[in-house]
Amino acid sequence: MSELEKFKESVKRMVDEKRPLLVEIARYLYENPELGSEEYKAFERLTKVLEEHGFNVERGVYGMPTAFVASFKGKGKGPRVAVLAEYDALPGVGHGCGHDLIAASAVGAGIAASRVMKELSGEVLVVGTPAEEGHGPSAGAKVIMADHGFFDDVDGVVMLHPANSWGVGGQSLGIHQLEMVFKGQTSHAAASPDRGRNALNAATLCYMATHMLRQEARRDANLVIHGIITEGGLASNIIPDRAVCQFGVRSSDEKYLVEMVDKVGRCAEGAAHALGVEVEVTKRKLYSSNKLNIPMIKALWQNYKDLGAPVKDWQESTKAIPMASTDFGDVSQKTPVAGSYIGIAPEGTPGHSRQLADASMTKEGLDAMVVGAKALGMTLVELLARPETLKEAREYFNSH
């Protein structure tokens, strides 16, 4: 048995040994769901457990009270590798996104990897990233950390997300948000329509113009444009002087996304010009798309495979049409990453549902979390014990 294999065996044993603790953590989060930026109970529990296991824990990083960085140093200087924990819940459906299992698996992977660190150089990090669902001041914590340069000093990052099938490496959509505020002039809609300037008409024209943009969408870039009109007047006999639209624009191609966000903005400007009203367009980038890193994906995938998990071929996962957006995308733009998903519920179970939350507490769900914790832990030690993988990952990152 090679040294790396011995390390991996040790990770597996340690995760099994810690299973009762990991299950208890998952159950505690499940029973105490907290919205993003308010995950104080989860934060206390996770940081305490990591500290008890010898991690050095920095609490409340980058001004986010429920974010943390827990680190465990090896025998000497070397690469820094990280596993990310999420622990925010959703309104109404508790842990309907399964973040209770993300937290438990990250703690399990981190603790298991730390046990072989006396024989390895480098550092293992368990990073607590709150508010993935976008609630409160710490919304999209990974973006905040990425913008502060935190991930520039991390050499490889792994994590998992519960789902209804198994896979490693998927794309996600970058997303930008636009708000358009149209300002016109009120007037009596029957007696003096000629003296009004109709902000709602401009908003409607803008809404229709964005529809027409879809016709020229690049088919390989997974463009999605979704919008609503949030304000459109106060009474039907008054020509509205104010109307507001909100749009989300998403794509798996970062450059193309910026181009399309500009075009959607121009729809507002053109409509305002046509109707003789003013418009103010505010653009905000929310999340980046996921930059795939094939060497990282292959390493994590192989570990799932070796554990007997029914993972799809990674080629299939990386080519699947991206459905959603996540702040993990912003991490992937800074350093090599591999994301994975574990099957905890029957095919067809909707995400963000009570059913998915409950699935996280079934034997199937908890078994999947344990397999995931092992695969993540094995990958962390592999990245430290086998420098070629990180080298290949960095080269791939720089050339794509």
Can you give the binding site for Zn ion, defined by CB under 5 A? 97
CB of 327 to Zn ion, least distance (A): 10
8/99 with CB nearer Zn ion: 99
Question: DSSP character for 193?
Answer: G
Which tokens is 49 given?
């457990």
101/390 with CB nearer Zn ion: 101
Angle at 67 between CA 66 and CA 72, to 5 degrees: 130
Closest residue to Zn ion using C-beta atoms: 97
CA distance 323 to 15: 31
CA distance 331 to 146: 6
- For residue 187, CA distances in Å to 184, 223, 243, 244, 286 come to 10, 39, 15, 18, 38
CA distance 326 to 171: 10
Give the three-state DSSP class for 343: strand
CB of 102 to Zn ion, least distance (A): 7
97/385 with CB nearer Zn ion: 97
Is residue 345 within 8 Å of residue 164, measured between CB atoms?
Answer: yes
CB of 133 to Zn ion, least distance (A): 5
Rg (CA), the chain: 24
CB of 324 to Zn ion, least distance (A): 7
CB of 351 to Zn ion, least distance (A): 6
97/267 with CB nearer Zn ion: 97
CA distance 36 to 132: 7
12/135 with CB nearer Zn ion: 135
34/382 with CB nearer Zn ion: 34
User: Of 132, 129, 103, which Cα lies nearest the Cα of 24?
Assistant: 103
CB of 99 to Zn ion, least distance (A): 6
CB of 25 to Zn ion, least distance (A): 17
Which tokens is 328 given?
């993990």
Instruction: Give burial (CB, 10 Å; 0-12/13-18/19+) of 177.
Output: middle
97/249 with CB nearer Zn ion: 97
319: Cβ–Cβ under 8 A, 6 or more apart, which residues? Answer: none
**Lookup result for tokens 């078994």:** 367
CB of 326 to Zn ion, least distance (A): 7
- Phi and psi for 280 in degrees, rounded to 5? -120, 120
State the angle between helix axes of 40-52 and 99-114 in degrees (0 to 180), rounded to the nearest 10.
10
129/201 with CB nearer Zn ion: 129
